[in-house]
Amino acid sequence: MKITRFEDLNIWKLSLMITRETYDLTSKKGFRMDFGLRDQVRRAIISVSSNIVEGFEKNNNNEFIRFLKIAKGSAGEARSQLYIALEVKYISKEEFNKANRDLISLSNQIGRFITYLQAHKKKGNFKNQ
């Protein structure tokens, strides 16, 4: 499959699904009232898909890789914040485990895509490869 739009990227699709699930988690009683943590988790998870798109739209492999690294970091930030939500009992262990697995999977996929782009680096855009 040729990737011509960010909507074609599986990592973007997965990040969007995880964003929806994160919004569901952060809307639960207790969690939704902790405005600071709730908003921080949401900002981190939104940052993942936003940075994937921003890097893609730069039309430059080096820039895309840089933004993918930022997206991967934001996924880690969201995981850390979900540990806090678990500790203060805003989410159950089962909810945490699912969200954590999903975020690890997304991070791994972003990491593999970064590795691919680095191995196939050209001066231009990966879309032209």
**Beta-strand runs (E) in the chain:** none
User: What is the tally of structural domains in the chain?
Assistant: 1
pLDDT by residue (tens digit) across 22-64?
999 999 998 999 999 999 999 999 999 999 999 999 999 999 9
In a domain, 1, yes or no: no
Cβ neighbours, 10 Å, residue 45: 30
The CATH number given to whatever domain includes residue 98 is: 1.20.1440.60
Confidence of residue 129 (pLDDT cuts 50, 70, 90): very low
Per-state percent for the chain, helix, strand, coil, to nearest 5: 80, 0, 20
Segment 78-119, tens digit of pLDDT: 999 999 999 999 999 999 999 999 999 999 999 999 999 999
Residue 112 lies in a domain: yes
For residue 56, give its domain range.
Answer: 9-123
Per-residue pLDDT at 127:
60
Q: Which two tokens stand for residue 70?
A: 């930022």
Whether 4 maps to a domain, the answer reads no
